[in-house]
Structure 1
Amino acid sequence: MESDTLSAHSRSFPDPAPPPVAAAVSPVLVVDLDGTLLASDMLHETFWSAVGRDWTTPVRAGLALLRGKAALKRVLAASAAVDVTLLPYDPGVIAEIAAWRDGGGRVVLVTASDQALAEAIAAHLGLFDETHGSDGAQNLKGPVKAAFLNARFGAGCYAYMGDSAADLEVWRHAARAITVNAPADLRRRAEALGVETAHLVTRPRTPGPYLRALRPHQWLKNLLVFMPMLAAHDLSAGTVAASLLAFLGFSLIASSVYVVNDLIDLDADRAHPRKRRRPFASGAVPIARGGALGLGLIAAGALAALALGPTFAAVMLGYLVATFAYSFVLKRRAIIDICVLAGLYTIRIIAGGAATGIELSVWLLAFSMFFFLSLAAVKRQAELIDTLRRGQEIARGRGYRVEDLPLVGAMSVAAGYVSVLVMALYVNAAEVVELYPHPAALWGICAVLLYWLSRTALITHRGEMHDDPVIFAARDRVSRICGLVILGFALVASGRLV
Structure 2
Amino acid sequence: MAVPLCVDLDGTLIKTDLLFESVLHLLKKNPLYFFLIITWLFKGIARLKYEVATRVSLDPATLPYSNNFLSYLKEEHAKGRKLILITAADKKIAEMISNYVGIFSHVLASDGDKNLKGENKRRLLCELSGEKKYDYAGNSRHDLKIWSSARYAIIVNASHSIIKRTQRLARVEHVFPREKKAFFSFLRAVRIHQYIKNSLIFIPLFASHLYFHLSSIVNSLIAFSAFCLLASGVYLTNDLVDLEVDRKHRTKHKRPFAAGDLSISFGVIAIFIFIMTAIFLATLLNSVFLSILVFYFLLSSAYSFYLKRKLLYDVFVLAILYTIRIMAGVAAIQSLYSEWLIAFSMFFFLSLAFVKRYSELYLSKIENKYNILGRGYHVNDLNQLSVFGTVSGYVAILVFSFYISSNQVTVLYRHPQWLWLVCLLLLYWISRIWMLVTRGLINEDPVIFALTDKTSLLAVLAITVIVFIAC
TM (norm. structure 1) is 0.90
Matched residue of 1:192: which SS?
A: helix
1:126 positional shift: 1.9
String of CA shifts for 1:436-463, please: whole Å, max 9, x gaps: 1111111111111111111111222222
Matched residue of 1:272: which SS?
A: coil
Selected match of 2:257 from 252, 273, 280 = 280
Distance 1:74 1:408 in 2: 46
The count of corresponding residues between Structure 1 and Structure 2 is 470
Supply the RMSD in Å over aligned alpha carbons: 1.8
Match of 2:78 in 1: 102
1:133 positional shift: 2.5
Match of 1:74 in 2: 50
Match of 1:370 in 2: 347
Q: Which moved more, 1:231-240 or 1:83-92?
A: 83-92
Flag the 1:438–1:314 CA change in 2: closer, same or farther, 3 A.
same
Match of 2:441 in 1: 464
Aligned: 1:264 with 2:272: no
Distance 2:129 2:44 in 1: 27
* Conserved 8 A contact 2:147-2:170: no
1:108 positional shift: 1.4
* Conserved 8 A contact 2:152-2:170: no
Aligned: 1:426 with 2:435: no
Distance 2:293 2:338 in 1: 20
Letter in structure 1 aligned against 2:295? G
Letter in structure 1 aligned against 2:152? R
* Conserved 8 A contact 2:158-2:178: no
1:197 positional shift: 5.1
1:50 positional shift: 2.6
String of CA shifts for 1:178-236, please: whole Å, max 9, x gaps: 11132232223223335555432242535211111110111111001111111111121
Selected match of 1:190 from 163, 166, 169 = 166
Letter in structure 2 aligned against 1:457? W
**Correspondences of 1:269-348 after superposition (within 5 Å):** 269-348=246-325
Matched residue of 2:121: which SS?
A: helix
Aligned: 1:439 with 2:416: yes
Match of 2:382 in 1: 405
Match of 1:230 in 2: 206
Distance 2:33 2:361 in 1: 29
Match of 2:196 in 1: 220
Q: Which moved more, 1:457-466 or 1:421-430?
A: 457-466
Aligned: 1:159 with 2:135: yes
String of CA shifts for 1:120-161, please: whole Å, max 9, x gaps: 222222222222322233222112222222333333221110
Flag the 1:137–1:414 CA change in 2: closer, same or farther, 3 A.
farther
Aligned: 1:118 with 2:118: no
Q: Which moved more, 1:115-124 or 1:282-291?
A: 115-124
String of CA shifts for 1:289-320, please: whole Å, max 9, x gaps: 10001111112111111111221111111111
Q: Which moved more, 1:246-255 or 1:88-97?
A: 88-97
**Correspondences of 1:34-183 after superposition (within 5 Å):** 34-183=10-159
Matched residue of 2:442: which SS?
A: coil
Letter in structure 1 aligned against 2:100? H
String of CA shifts for 1:42-98, please: whole Å, max 9, x gaps: 112222233333333322322221222223223333444533212211111112212
Letter in structure 1 aligned against 2:464? L
Distance 1:351 1:181 in 2: 43
* Conserved 8 A contact 2:46-2:90: yes
Matched residue of 2:85: which SS?
A: strand
Distance 2:315 2:70 in 1: 42
Distance 2:313 2:180 in 1: 41
1:164 positional shift: 0.4
* Conserved 8 A contact 2:14-2:63: yes
Match of 2:363 in 1: 386
Letter in structure 1 aligned against 2:23? F
* Conserved 8 A contact 1:181-1:201: yes
Q: Which moved more, 1:193-202 or 1:323-332?
A: 193-202
Gaps of 5+ in 2: none
Distance 1:206 1:82 in 2: 25
Distance 2:432 2:29 in 1: 37
TM (norm. structure 2) is 0.95
Matched residue of 1:464: which SS?
A: coil
Matched residue of 1:430: which SS?
A: coil
Flag the 1:251–1:77 CA change in 2: closer, same or farther, 3 A.
same
Q: Which moved more, 1:259-268 or 1:67-76?
A: 67-76
* Conserved 8 A contact 1:393-1:401: yes
Matched residue of 1:281: which SS?
A: coil
Gaps of 5+ in 1: 1-22
* Conserved 8 A contact 1:420-1:450: yes
Match of 1:8 in 2: none
Distance 2:203 2:405 in 1: 20
* Conserved 8 A contact 1:159-1:175: yes
Distance 2:251 2:131 in 1: 46
Aligned: 1:30 with 2:6: yes
Letter in structure 1 aligned against 2:320? G
Higher relative contact order (Cα pairs below 8 Å, separated by 6+ residues): 1
Matched residue of 2:257: which SS?
A: helix
Flag the 1:483–1:282 CA change in 2: closer, same or farther, 3 A.
same
Distance 2:52 2:420 in 1: 58
* Conserved 8 A contact 2:182-2:261: no
Q: Which moved more, 1:189-198 or 1:147-156?
A: 189-198
